[in-house]
Amino acid sequence: MAAKKPIRKAAAKRQPAKKASRAKARRRPTQKKAATSEVERLFAFYRRMLLIRRFEEKAGQLYGMGLIGGFCHLYIGQEAVVVGALSAIEAPKDSFITAYRCHGHALESGIEPKTVMAELTGRRDGVCKGKGGSMHLFALEKGFYGGHGIVGATAPLGTGLAFAHKYRGDGGVVLAFFGEGAANQGQVYEAFNMASLWKLPIVYIIENNRYGMGTAVERASAITDMYKHGESVGIPGKRVDGMDVEAVQKEVKFAADVARAGKGPVLLEMRTYRYRGHSMSDPAKYRSREEVAKIREKRDPIDHLSKMLLKHGKVKEEDLKEIDREIKAIVSEAADFAQESPEPEPAELLTDIWIEA
């Protein structure tokens, strides 16, 4: 989504001073343009991350009110990973797949917030007609292959998608997301081996948010440098600051180019953090409040970006507040829509069971 009004136009319109040397005058417009587009780019990131955060805060409220049934896993704190990663590929030519913590992935795929929210409330206008719910969002036409509840399954499923891209020769690449809690599973290594052997176009993205349910990564994994997990089958890996949207975009772009060029898979470990419990029913007693507060204060991906934008000087506090109001209105509208939409007809139980190949 492109940035709208909030970027100050005045600075961009200012002409180079008349007395400036010709060389300076020649240089300035380009520099100014670059600076403006840089701000616009950051602003677009900011807007998209904020949409995910506000959407999830609202989802948490609706869950508390009993309007969302089943499980609900919030992604708050991890927004920079999905926003950076999906901005580095070209879905639906490329594809992506993730686990159950998938609201942000669905929003970033371009599904309307109200359609995602209506899925969470299990209503007819949801993206899966209310039959998938929070964990099973899906939109093939956007290159988004779900939303999966089976931990680790996105590694082999993603590898299958990568095989399909290669087999069809369509130039597509896959981003397969999973958590650090999944990374030691057998199926993950089997998939790594096949992908490396056949040089499949896939980037495995481990979202290391430090906890698999209530277990800290240090207590569950012999090797906590998750990016090294593909080394035994020849998959190069890199650790990335998953709280920095620009770093994520850069590294995913690079990795996707490598995979697309037929050089085989790449593994990226995104160092991130989830602020909320594993799911809405988890009071998160396995870590201290101070730990969460410290990361919120020092590493929050949205705060980090707002500080950068303010530093640029072309965006003011008021602009950020305005965008927040705008996003809250979108989310509130989505919540109303998700409550007003009717429940699916019972006959829907028997539809969408098979997909014609």
Ligand X SMILES: Cc1ncc(C[n+]2csc(CCOP(=O)(O)OP(=O)(O)O)c2C)c(N)n1
Which positions lie near ligand X, rule CB under 6 A? 101, 149-152, 178-182, 209, 211-213, 278
Q: Which residues pair with 216 in a beta bridge?
A: 211
Contacts of 1 (CB under 8 A, 6+ apart): 44, 47, 48
Q: Cα separations (Å) of 138 from 65, 108, 334?
A: 25, 12, 18
Q: Which residue is nearest to ligand X (CB)?
A: 179
Our CA angle for 299, 58, 288, nearest 5°, is 40
Closer of 36 and 78 to ligand X (Cβ): 78
Output the smallest distance, CB 137 to ligand X, in A.
Answer: 15
Output the smallest distance, CB 123 to ligand X, in A.
Answer: 25
Output the smallest distance, CB 173 to ligand X, in A.
Answer: 22
Closer of 205 and 308 to ligand X (Cβ): 205
The string of DSSP codes covering 17-66 is PTTS-HHHHHHHHHHHHHHHHHHHHHHHHHHHHHHHHHHHHHHHHHHHTT
Output the smallest distance, CB 279 to ligand X, in A.
Answer: 8
Closer of 81 and 302 to ligand X (Cβ): 81
Helix, strand, or coil here: 308? helix
Residue 309 phi, psi (nearest 5): -65, -45
Output the smallest distance, CB 125 to ligand X, in A.
Answer: 27
Closer of 189 and 198 to ligand X (Cβ): 189
Output the smallest distance, CB 160 to ligand X, in A.
Answer: 17
Closer of 125 and 269 to ligand X (Cβ): 269
Closer of 47 and 101 to ligand X (Cβ): 101
CA distance 182 to 276: 19
CA distance 336 to 355: 32
